[in-house]
Amino acid sequence: MRDVFPNALHVARREYLFRVRGRAFKVTTALLAIAIVAITLVPTILGALGVADPPHIAVANEAGDIQPDPILTLQAALIAGADPGAAIDGETPDELPADERPRVTPTDDPDAAADAVRAGDLDGVLVISRDAEGELGFEYITSAGPTSQTRALVQAAASSIAIADRLEREGVTPAQQQAVFATIPFEVTAADPSDARDPEDFAGGFILAYAVVILTFMAILTYGNWVAQSVAEEKSGRVMELLITAATPRQLLTGKVLGAGAAGLTQYVVIIAALVIGLVASGPAADALGASGDLPFSLPTIGPVTIVTFAAFFLLGFLLYATLYAAAGSMVSRIEDVQQAVGPLIFLAMGGYFAAFTGLNDPDAGWVQALSVVPFFSPYLMPARMLLTSPSAAEIGLAIALLVAAVVGAIWLASRIYSAGVLMYGQRVGLRTILRAARVAR
């Protein structure tokens, strides 16, 4: 067998340039980048819109004396709802700037207040009454829909006002109530100190694991399909006979996978750059809009070794699938038949994808551990496990080694199928015919 390079690089270069110069590539990449920037900025913009207009609610107390003051209870609930972090951190409501603070004001005239709600000057009116048995009743007049967050907060506040009132009537003093509802100390200690993760960190890891699985899956499906499509195009356009005379199947196959892969990677780099721009811009954008630019979760800190490992899984996984996609593309005579030929590969890729999604919920399960070293699944499962639990270095090394072996085997098999397939033109070329021809192929 002749050397793979430099011809594979010539093929890769042609493939890459042809891809990235194409209008479809430019349009798709630009649209994806715009969409990503928009998606990262939307929460900030929405947050800014929400905070710019804090809720203002009027309370009409027709029930006489209620302890503690329902206005204070409601205000505390609304503040806690507007900034969940404040309640956890034990911040007092006074720390919110005045123009962001929800307002709760007393009123004696619920009808006038209801008119103000209809006019849009108030978010709602809470009318508190007391029936013959002394039980509190609440009526909330608002224009907001059932999904309104303020409405839910008001209902929760009403509930605690009523409970406090019942206890009060039963003779439980406010001091006793405070003692009953005092926060319970609850501490979680990780069995293995290295597993100790901040809950926000864990949420971030989870989101990142999803992202890695989805990105890997998309790369295999989209860019793998490019490879198959491109091989089938060369075959149906009959350039293949010229190519196969000038270069060996292995050179062509390797070049094709590298070229299409590099084009795909270019698209990914643009997307990730857009993501970074979006995230970086959301800070200043939030400042400009007067909102808090903090993400609702924090991304786990990832070391350079982990990033290199992720990249290795991603690239090797892509190589494995893309090589087989090239073989599949070489088996068909018409471009329309490509989808049918790559069917089994899509099935395999989806198997890994769904296994990873199921496995994310229980990353330490035995089957997840086992599958995470199996070549066709490891590109999804091992990075996900690395984000969620702590697989051993030996496991990661084994997964990489098996993946490399699978790539080498796939290149060998695919180049034989390729050299037999590219000269076969017919209605349908079965795998058996191909394999028989592949045995004598060069």
Residues 6+ apart with CB under 8 A from 418: 231, 249, 252, 253, 326, 327, 330
User: Reduced to 3 states, what is the DSSP secondary structure of residue 117?
Assistant: helix
Q: Is the previous residue joined to 68 through a cis bond, with omega within 30 degrees of 0?
A: yes
Which region, judged by CB under 8 A, interacts with other proteins, from 212-220, 335-343, 362-370, 420-428?
420-428
Asked if 330 is part of the footprint of other proteins (rule: CB under 8 A), the reply reads no
Residue number, 6 or 409, with CB nearest to other proteins: 6
Task: Pick from 96, 218, 424, 431 the residue near other proteins by CB under 8 A.
Answer: 424
Asked if 238 is part of the footprint of other proteins (rule: CB under 8 A), the reply reads yes
Which region, judged by CB under 8 A, interacts with other proteins, from 183-191, 294-302, 368-376, 429-437?
429-437
Task: Pick from 180, 319, 425, 435 the residue near other proteins by CB under 8 A.
Answer: 425
Detail the DSSP E strand segments found in 206-255. none
Question: What are the CA-CA distances from residue 31 to residues 8, 28, 36, 55, 387 (Å)?
Answer: 31, 5, 9, 37, 30
Which region, judged by CB under 8 A, interacts with other proteins, from 153-161, 241-249, 368-376, 398-406?
241-249
CB of 1 to other proteins, least distance (A): 11
CB of 9 to other proteins, least distance (A): 9
Spell out, one character per residue from 343 to 382, where the chain touches other proteins: x when CB under 8 A holds, - when not: ----------------------------------------
CB of 254 to other proteins, least distance (A): 13
Which region, judged by CB under 8 A, interacts with other proteins, from 217-225, 238-246, 300-308, 363-371?
238-246
Which region, judged by CB under 8 A, interacts with other proteins, from 82-90, 100-108, 122-130, 423-431?
423-431
- Please report, as a single letter, which amino acid is at residue 313: F
Question: What are the CA-CA distances from residue 419 to residues 246, 247, 343 (Å)?
Answer: 13, 11, 21
User: Reduced to 3 states, what is the DSSP secondary structure of residue 412?
Assistant: helix
Asked if 246 is part of the footprint of other proteins (rule: CB under 8 A), the reply reads yes
Alpha carbons 47 and 259: distance in angstroms, whole number: 42
The residue assigned the tokens 């009526």 is 139
Residue number, 63 or 429, with CB nearest to other proteins: 429
Alpha carbons 232 and 210: distance in angstroms, whole number: 33
Which region, judged by CB under 8 A, interacts with other proteins, from 29-37, 110-118, 121-129, 421-429?
421-429
Asked if 332 is part of the footprint of other proteins (rule: CB under 8 A), the reply reads no
Question: What are the CA-CA distances from residue 270 to residues 18, 76, 263 (Å)?
Answer: 18, 45, 11
CB of 318 to other proteins, least distance (A): 24
CB of 6 to other proteins, least distance (A): 8
Task: Pick from 183, 245, 301, 392 the residue near other proteins by CB under 8 A.
Answer: 245
CB 395 within 8 A of CB 372: yes
Residue number, 14 or 334, with CB nearest to other proteins: 14
Give the angle 214-215-216 at the CA atoms, nearest 5°.
Answer: 90
- Number of chain residues interacting with other proteins (CB under 8 A): 31
Alpha carbons 128 and 74: distance in angstroms, whole number: 12
Alpha carbons 181 and 172: distance in angstroms, whole number: 12
Asked if 442 is part of the footprint of other proteins (rule: CB under 8 A), the reply reads yes
Asked if 437 is part of the footprint of other proteins (rule: CB under 8 A), the reply reads yes
Residue number, 2 or 304, with CB nearest to other proteins: 2
Asked if 158 is part of the footprint of other proteins (rule: CB under 8 A), the reply reads no
Among 197, 188, 213, 187, CA closest to 390: 197
CB of 261 to other proteins, least distance (A): 19
Asked if 146 is part of the footprint of other proteins (rule: CB under 8 A), the reply reads no
Task: Pick from 3, 5, 14, 143 the residue near other proteins by CB under 8 A.
Answer: 14
Alpha carbons 78 and 382: distance in angstroms, whole number: 43
* Sheet (strand 124-130) strand order: 103-106, 56-61, 124-130, 136-142
Q: Where are the alpha helices (DSSP H) in 4-148?
A: 7-21, 23-52, 70-82, 84-89, 110-119
Residue number, 196 or 435, with CB nearest to other proteins: 435
Binding site for other proteins (CB under 8 A): 2, 7, 10-11, 14, 18, 234, 237-248, 419, 423-427, 429, 433, 437, 440-442
